[in-house]
A = this chain, B = another copy of it.
Amino acid sequence: MQFHLNGFRAGDPAVVDDAGVFAPELPDEMDVLIVGCGPAGLTLAAQLAVFPGIVTRIVEQKAGPLLVGQADGIACRTMEMFQAFGFADRVMKEAYWVNETSFWRPDGAARGRITRSGRIQDTEDGLSEFPHVILNQARVHDFYLEVMRHAATRLTPDYGWRVVDVRVARAGTHPVTVSLERVEGGERREVRAKYVVGCDGARSAVRRALGLALTGDSANQAWGVMDVLAVTDFPDIRMKAAIHSAAEGSVLIIPREGGYMVRLYIELDKLGESERIASRNVTADYLVAAAQRILRPYTLAVKEIAWWSVYDIGQRLCDRFDDATGEAGPRVFIAGDACHTHSPKAGQGMNVSMQDGFNLGWKLAAVLRGVSGEELLRSYSDERQAIAHELIEFDRVFAKMFSAPPKDPDDPASEGVDPQEFQQYFVQQGRFTAGTATRYRASAICGGDEHQSLATGFVVGMRFHSAPVVRLADAKPMQLGHVIKADGRWRVFAFAGAGDGVAGLCGFFGDDPRSPLRRHRPAGSDIDAVIDVRAVFQQGHRELSIGDMPALLRPAKGRYGLIDYEKVFCADARPGQDIFEMRGIDRARGCIVVVRPDQYVALVAPLTAHEALAGFFAGVMI
């Protein structure tokens, strides 16, 4: 954390100086109106909240924050994003850690009893510096709400408003008009925004107003879900466990935070064509009884049900996530469940929704701050619709496999899935479910891969895969990826080769009229306000001196011109911890890695590719 740049201030440094822009009442006009306080909406709101020049509001039809239930899986990739928002450590502390997953199937000798068929490490070594964890969605909301409250804008949701209609005009500074209605009392309001984002769930009013539809499979598999406090002799009750019984269906066990609570996903009978689970009048007792039958010979005594629900969601998707046309750029977006729904069993819903919000947030901020042109906004639907499409395809297979009965080894002709095959699929898809397989296609904000060989571990289009380094100025061992904060800035990491390419690059960036740092930076702002340049050297930290570094790597900032000492890093000398080795960086030539504000690698280039770099940023920024 960096603070005190513009003077010492007592108190919690996470609480930024109040810019005084938050109006207690919902105003008539705003830059961005977000609809819905779910994971997508709150991620977006938390991102926009850090910019005091942007007026953001978020409305929610519920009367207050979520307290219980809903999603709970937090993938490694999401933890990396939480780190950028500053609360990964709190999630780590409070959450359950998914360390292993166990698989149970019918006992060969007595198929009415389940037996453990395998156990695997949940996340492969080195996939992320963060674990896969489980935490009540409500707590994730709490952390985002705190980020918003502490940000310069002091953004707070306006609860109790429902969207009635959204209309987009062709012109005007605030072309989107949204009709709102108070849930209590029915008062109507019209507000105008430059942009509106519907994060209002599977029954999204914003989507409906755009005339978009979720299309895909009708659901014919129903599941129950419950968070329980229970006493059991099932030995893997504190492991994530996928259990397939011979004849009673399946249960997925997800242990929960706090050491006692557990979530059970319980397979229900197949639904008929166009039948909805709501019509079945499933009770909590029914779910408990089903779980008890599946878990035999183990017992399960449920002492308290904290929350439960039934669902029959199929795999459904919108074909685009905004209202753009050939001529007109997007003004209204949808994100999260509003544009993609699927089964919850792979723990993807909340994670993918938050990545939607993260993808859109920095783009809206860049356009509203005048850093980038409006065309940038088209990339949101392009990038995220493709990812959602992959998710839907994955989930179709995964959910089907999960719901299929286990194949009887004594009857090889029988229908069903070999539990070993299910386990293998689970392992194969580990990177996908961890959220680290996301790869954006080449575009104006995602370069080609012609120089990928310079850094094989920083794949263009994929998230920046953090690795350990040692900070030169204070010898602090740390994760390089953790310098990427959710602050809307681009990062340029210069990895030194054998020559003095870093000095050359810094000279270009610092002094050349074509430098993107000079071209795209708002007047009066710090040198790193839009593009943040950092360097990593192959030497140990005692072999270099901060005093010998190019001026750009120890910039004077803020009202006092204080030196920022956190731009230069060295390889970590511990065995197996050298970032050049870990990420396949060319030791002779070095390289440049450009990282987007949402932590995705935009470009890998030679250290000498000054013009190409300038060209890349000219394509992204004004």
Task: Indicate if the CB atoms of B260 and A476 lie closer than 8 Å.
Answer: no
Q: Which residue of A96, A259, A261 has the most chain B CB atoms within 10 A of its CB atom? A: A259
Contact across chains for A229 and B8 when beta carbons are under 8 A apart: yes
- List the B residue with the shortest CB-CB distance to A560: B303
Contact A562 B258 (CB under 8 A): no
Q: Does A498 contact B (CB under 8 A)?
A: no
Residue A67 is within 8 A (CB to CB) of chain B in the complex? yes
Who on chain B is nearest to A475 by CB? B99
- Taken together as a complex, chains A and B put the C-alpha atoms of A3 and B306 apart, in Å, by 13
CB of A254, distance to nearest CB on chain B (Å): 12
Is A524 located at the chain interface by the 8 A CB criterion?
Answer: no
Q: Does A473 contact B (CB under 8 A)?
A: yes
- Contact between A97 and B259 (Cβ–Cβ < 8 Å)? no
A259 near B566 with CB under 8 A, answer yes
- Give the CA-CA distance A142 to B89 in the complex, in Å: 18
- For A238, A473, A561, A564, the residue with the greatest tally of chain B CB atoms inside 10 Å of its CB is A238
If the complex has contacts A2-B260, A94-B13, A238-B565, are A547 and B233 also in contact, measured as CB distance less than 8 A? yes
Residues of B within 8 A of A90 (CB): 89
Least distance between A208 CB and chain B CB atoms (Å) = 31
A298 → B minimal CB distance (Å) = 9
Instruction: State the oligomeric state as a number of copies.
Output: 2
| A562-B231 contact, Cβ under 8 Å, with A258-B2, A474-B99 | yes
- How many A residues, CB 8 Å from partner? 62
Q: How far is the CB of A229 from chain B (nearest CB, A)?
A: 6
Does residue A28 face the partner (Cβ distance < 8 Å to B)? no
Smallest beta-carbon distance A334→chain B, Å: 29
Q: How far is the CA of A99 from the CA of B563 in the complex (A)?
A: 20
Residue in A12, A68, A473, A556 whose Cβ sees the most chain B Cβ within 10 Å: A473
Contact between chains at B4 and A229 (CB < 8 Å): yes
Distance of A300 from chain B, by nearest CB (Å): 12
**A497 at interface (Cβ–Cβ under 8 A)?**
no
Q: Which of A105-163 contact B (CB under 8 A)?
A: 119, 138-139, 142
Q: Would you give 10 A-B contacts (Cβ < 8 Å), ordered by A?
A: A5-B260, A7-B229, A13-B257, A89-B89, A231-B561, A238-B473, A238-B546, A238-B565, A259-B564, A303-B560
A residues neighboring B (CB under 8 Å): 1-5, 7-8, 10-13, 67-68, 89-90, 92-94, 96-97, 99-100, 119, 138-139, 142, 227, 229-231, 233, 235, 237-239, 255, 257-261, 303-304, 306-307, 473-477, 542, 545-547, 556, 560-566
